[in-house]
């Protein structure tokens, strides 16, 4: 069986030749262009964050400690790696409250007075104590004292604009990035593993196109053949504008501000992005490729069906892989026997036929697996690795709690406690509304 990544990239001669004949290029060569053409919100926020002075990075890490947020350096967006936008979006969304707190110091006095209530609300949501607030205020004063070049001032103004003045727009676009890009990333990640998955390529690309179109197309128009899916027109088959999928956070903001001009403009932008991206996927992905359809019959899970036998015969025919078959071989008979053979071992989805018979001791690199001396240090490290990791995690957690207590911050609560608090807050809010 051929390596699936090579086939997907068109490096295998026969697969590349068959795809070219059917006027469909290999999908991986163009997959970076799947990036939805939304405004470059993540890039506009995160690119100015880099590079940062060391003292500002240290201040950011301390703010994250006070707020109970896992602190990391700002992620860098790489233009030729479009999925890095997803990694940037995850990091930015997680640390957005810490960024807002730190960059609050770069606002002028009038804007600080205007947004002070929002800052206090952020402090309250993350359990920041009075001593921690005083420490953060020192950060603001120290950052304002430092001299900056005009380039540095412009960079800070762009970040402050995205974090404070255009926070609604930033949250909307971050939400759609984090909601849509995982659909595309899942398709790419399938073929970056060690297993051979060429038999999954047709199903996976059909799945990613259907899942992506379901974000803005009515579901009844997607239960169709791959050929019709390539030719589908979106103009009269789209969901209403308010029903477009835009990610969990944007869904909440959309419900809270249904007629807000920024929300309406955002929805129109997302609609345009969905249509252009789906049209590009229709044009570039070989959804109707007979070669990939035949390769899907190699999946052991579909053995025992008549369509499997038909596709396997087509795959071994002269139009596809016939030049690899010996003349004296009766391939159709072998296909018939293979399709109904009950003596073959049961294969479950996810099994690897390559590593099925490999034992744990064969993983050690030794000249003679049975007679060579075992590396005692390696065995010791394997036995103690879990304990060492657990001890280090406990020490780091203890150090973090001590620092939070030093500055009067509340320790981070568990997920169960957070849910109880949220339920209690909702109950109190409903009780207040009922009294009114």
pLDDT over 70 (residue 204): yes
Query: 325 Cβ partners below 8 Å, 6+ apart?
Result: 316, 331
- The whole-model pTM stands at 0.69
405 has a pLDDT exceeding 60: yes
In this prediction, residue 35 carries a pLDDT of 47
pLDDT in tens, 286-301: 888 888 888 888 887 7
Q: Which residue has the higher pLDDT, 164 or 341?
A: 164
> 128-158 as b/e, with b when 16 or more CB fall inside 10 Å?
bbeebbebbeebbeebeeeeeeeeeeebbee
Coil, strand or helix at 405? helix
Q: Cβ of 46: how many Cβ atoms within 10 Å?
A: 22
Asked whether residue 200 carries a pLDDT value surpassing 70, the answer given is yes
- Given a cut of 50, whether residue 233 has pLDDT beyond it is yes
Cβ 179 vs Cβ 246: under 8 Å: yes
pLDDT in tens, 41-77: 555 555 556 557 788 889 999 999 999 999 887 777 7
% of the chain surpassing 70 pLDDT: 79
Instruction: Identify the pLDDT of residue 184.
Output: 87
Is the pLDDT confidence value at 223 over 50? yes
Phi-psi bin for 398: left (phi > 0), alpha (psi -120 to 50), beta?
alpha
- For residue range 83-130, what is the model confidence (pLDDT) as tens digits? 778 888 888 899 999 999 999 999 999 999 999 999 999 999 999 999
Dihedral angle sign, alpha carbons of residues 367, 370, 376, 378: positive
pLDDT band per the 50, 70, 90 thresholds, residue 39: very low
Angle, CA of 38, 44 and 47, to the nearest 5°: 130
| Residue-level pLDDT at 209 | 93
Q: Which residue has the higher pLDDT, 357 or 241?
A: 241
The mean pLDDT of the chain is: 79
Q: If you average pLDDT over residues 404-413, what whole number do you get?
A: 70
Please state the rounded mean pLDDT for residues 132-161: 89
Question: H helices of 326-414, where?
Answer: 331-340, 376-406
| 239 or 435: which leads in pLDDT | 239
Give, to the nearest 10 degrees, the angle between helix 84-103 and helix 54-67. Answer: 90
Average the pLDDT over each of 252-261, 283-292, 410-419 and give the range with the smallest value: 410-419
In this model, does residue 317 exceed pLDDT 90? no
User: Does 21 or 422 have the greater pLDDT score?
Assistant: 422
Give residue 239's pLDDT: 93
Does residue 395 register a pLDDT over 60? yes
Report pLDDT for 380: 82
250 pLDDT higher than 70: yes
Is pLDDT above 90 for 144?
A: no
| Dist. CA 373–CA 291, nearest whole Å | 50
Rounded to an integer, what distance in angstroms lies between the CA atom of residue 171 and that of residue 263? 11
Structure confidence at residue 40 as a pLDDT band (50, 70, 90): low
């Amino acid at each position: 069986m051929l390596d699936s990544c090579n086939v997907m990239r068109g490096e295998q001669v026969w697969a590349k030749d068959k795809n070219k004949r059917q006027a469909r290029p290999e999908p991986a060569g163009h997959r970076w262009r799947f990036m939805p053409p939304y405004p470059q919100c993540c890039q506009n926020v995160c690119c100015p964050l880099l590079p940062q002075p060391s003292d500002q990075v240290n201040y950011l890490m301390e703010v994250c400690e006070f707020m109970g947020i896992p602190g990391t350096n700002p992620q860098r967006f790489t233009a030729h790696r479009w999925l890095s936008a997803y990694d940037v979006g995850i990091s930015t969304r997680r640390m957005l409250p810490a960024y807002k707190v730190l960059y609050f110091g770069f606002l002028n006095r009038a804007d600080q007075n205007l947004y002070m209530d929002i800052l206090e609300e952020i402090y309250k949501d993350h359990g920041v104590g009075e001593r921690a607030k005083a420490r953060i205020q020192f950060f603001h004063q120290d950052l304002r004292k430092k001299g900056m070049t005009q380039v540095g001032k412009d960079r800070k103004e762009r970040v402050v604009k995205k974090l404070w003045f255009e926070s609604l727009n930033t949250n909307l676009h971050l939400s759609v990035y984090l909601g849509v890009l995982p659909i595309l990333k899942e398709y790419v990640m399938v073929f970056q593993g060690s297993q051979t998955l060429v038999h999954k390529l047709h199903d996976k690309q059909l799945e990613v196109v259907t899942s992506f179109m379901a974000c803005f197309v009515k579901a009844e128009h997607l239960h169709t053949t791959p050929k019709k899916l390539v030719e589908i027109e979106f103009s009269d088959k789209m969901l209403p504008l308010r029903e477009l999928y835009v990610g969990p956070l944007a869904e909440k903001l959309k419900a809270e501000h249904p007629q807000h001009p920024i929300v309406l403009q955002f929805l129109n932008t997302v609609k345009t992005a969905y249509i252009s991206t789906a049209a590009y996927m229709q044009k570039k992905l070989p959804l109707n490729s007979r070669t990939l359809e035949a390769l899907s019959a190699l999946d052991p899970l579909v053995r025992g069906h008549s369509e499997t036998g038909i596709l396997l015969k087509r795959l071994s025919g002269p139009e596809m892989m016939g030049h690899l078959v010996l003349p004296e071989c009766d391939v159709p008979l072998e296909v018939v026997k293979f399709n109904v053979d009950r003596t073959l071992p049961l294969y479950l989805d996810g099994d690897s036929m390559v590593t099925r018979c490999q034992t744990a001791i064969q993983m050690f690199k030794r000249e003679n697996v049975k007679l060579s001396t075992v590396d005692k240090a390696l065995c010791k490290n394997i036995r103690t690795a879990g304990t060492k990791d657990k001890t280090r995690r406990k020490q780091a957690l203890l150090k973090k709690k001590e620092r939070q207590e030093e500055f009067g911050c509340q320790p981070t609560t568990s997920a169960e406690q957070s849910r109880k608090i949220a339920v209690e807050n909702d109950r109190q809010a409903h009780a207040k509304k009922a009294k009114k």
